[in-house]
Amino acid sequence: MSSLAITGHEVRRLLRDRALPVLLILLLALGAYAAWNGADWARERGAAIGLLEAEEQDTAARARKFVGNAPSVLPRSQPVLPGGSMAPLSIGQADAYPFTADVVALGGYTQLFKPGWADIGNPAARAAGRFDLAFVIVFLLPLVVLAVTYDLWSRERERGVAAMVLSQPVAAAPLIAVKALARGLIVLLPSMAIIVAVAAGAGAQDPAGLMALASTVLAYGGFWLAVAVIIGLHARRSTEAAIAAGATWLLVVIMMPSLSLAAIDLVSPPPSEMRFATDMKARMTGIAERQRLHRQSNPTPARTPAPRIPDQMRDDYADRVAADLELAPMIAAHRQALEARRHLLDKARFFLPSVAVQDALDRIAGSDAGRAIAFQSQVIRFWQERRLLHKAYLDRDAMQTLAEYDELPRFRFRETGGAFQRGVLADLAALVIATALILIAAWSLRGRAATP
């Protein structure tokens, strides 16, 4: 019996089965709804960003009339993190991080990213997670694959066909491999086409992003296909195979990520934002009071001739810089604790296929934590540049001109990666390695397939 004949038999058998079209239609319906949900979220975020940009332009226009009456006019700026070209694919962690900031040149670090800038939304939705295409891929695609492939060899064993087949000069292991490949192609290719089509229809039309999406779907589907192979080697009845498939899905998709997160919380608990804010406020109050007393007891001597810009403004700037330097170790320690936890989570994803897929989809969509943190780092640099502009006017002892005001730099987010960025390739490599390990284990157990 040739591989081509086996493939043809499996394809005809699946096409005659009414369950496959039903599964694909269900995937299409859920995928279309999830894509619409993601596109609706992206539109809402885009509308909010548009309002913030319009407000910033209005603020800049109104502040222009004050140029020449102050050392520098650096109007409040509200940098925004724009949505990615594949935003409808996955909302990911975008709700958990600020998508805009409040940059005031002489303001403090704690004013930059206010908790209110993170979307609160529906608490129930935040608890259960958003129903987007990433949810469909991570949670539902494995069920579709397993529903078609769970009984690779158990069905033949139940009906006594396995004994008849093995009596022929046919090796069981290649037979199961060909059956798995045939079934996998007949379910994975249409599933991939459906997911890519609904993503494109929702507005995710970046060619590289769609290619990365297709690669992720195939890699994840291949992992579950390998799981079906090893289940087929062990199970002797279809009921056993179905139970094993359901239990494996529950373990890999639900339990392992939850247990891993609980373990990480024990090893590296998240630092308390409330405690950090409270400590910062107390420290800032103490610094301000100490600086006030110091200025009262050590006033700046008057200069002759008097400078154009009063020395009081230089004193205020010096106090602001000194306060930031004193607060810097506390801020750095807090950010270091957050970064250490994030790195631990990043490493854990390589051992969790479902988490690796979610991470890859988030990165493709631009809703991952790395992009949000890159936005925060760029905002901090922009804030520091604004402050140095103010210092330059103080140092030269000359007011800002209209020409200088009109040429003030504006914030533009610089993308840090593309659809096939290093993180996505690492996630795909983790999936391929996990699939290879399962296939190696299946090859070592191939002798089980020879038992009817």
pLDDT band at residue 120 under the 50/70/90 scheme: very low
Percent of the chain with pLDDT over 90: 54
Residue 30, burial from CB neighbour count under 10 angstroms (0-12, 13-18, 19+): middle
CA dist 233 and 180 (Å) reads 12
Per-residue model confidence as pLDDT tens digits over 198-219: 999 999 989 999 999 999 999 9
Domain ranges of the chain: 1-299+306-452
Angle of helix 238-249 relative to helix 141-149, nearest 10 degrees?
Answer: 160
Helices (H), 64-129: 123-128
Residue 111 has pLDDT above 60, yes or no: yes
Higher pLDDT, 336 or 4: 336
* Predicted local confidence at residue 115, as pLDDT: 54
CA angle 19–25–31, rounded 5-degree value: 130
Average pLDDT, the chain: 87
Closest to 41 in 3D by CA, of 29, 52, 33: 33
Say if residue 385's pLDDT is above 90.
yes
Q: List the structure tokens of 183.
A: 């079934």
Q: Which of 160, 151, 159 is nearest to 180 (CA)?
A: 151
CB-based contacts of 268: which residues, under 8 Å, 6+ apart? 337, 340, 341, 344
What are the tens digits of pLDDT across the range 156-168? 777 766 666 666 6
Q: What is the mean pLDDT of residues 108-123?
A: 61
Q: Please give the pLDDT value at position 93.
A: 86
What local confidence, expressed as pLDDT, does residue 4 receive? 63
Residues 6+ apart with CB under 8 A from 149: 180, 183, 184, 187, 224, 225, 228, 232
Alpha-carbon distance 124 to 201, whole Å?
27
- Measuring CA to CA, which residue among 113, 106, 111, 109 is closest to residue 387? 106
Confidence label for 53 from pLDDT (cuts 50, 70 and 90): very high
CB-based burial label for 28 (10 Å; 0-12, 13-18, 19+): middle
The answer on pLDDT for 448 being more than 80 is no
- Measure Cα distances from 81 to 41, 60, 207, 414, 427 in Å: 15, 19, 22, 10, 24
Per-residue pLDDT tens over the stretch 257-294: 999 999 998 888 888 888 888 898 899 999 999 999 98
pLDDT tens for 228-240 read 999 888 878 888 9
422 is written with which tokens?
């290093």
* pLDDT given for residue 125 in this prediction: 38
Residues 6+ away with beta carbon under 8 Å from 209: 84, 85, 86, 89, 364, 365, 419
pLDDT at 40 over 60: yes
Identify the three-state secondary structure at position 368: coil
Q: Are 252 and 349 in contact (CB under 8 A)?
A: no
| Tokens standing for residue 61 | 């226009």
- Quote the pLDDT of residue 207: 94
Residue count of the chain: 452
Tokens of 22: 């039903």
Which pTM does this prediction carry? Answer: 0.90
Identity of the residue numbered 81: L
Residue 256 parent element (H or E): helix 256-267
What's the rounded Cα separation, in Å, for the pair 325 and 328?
Answer: 5
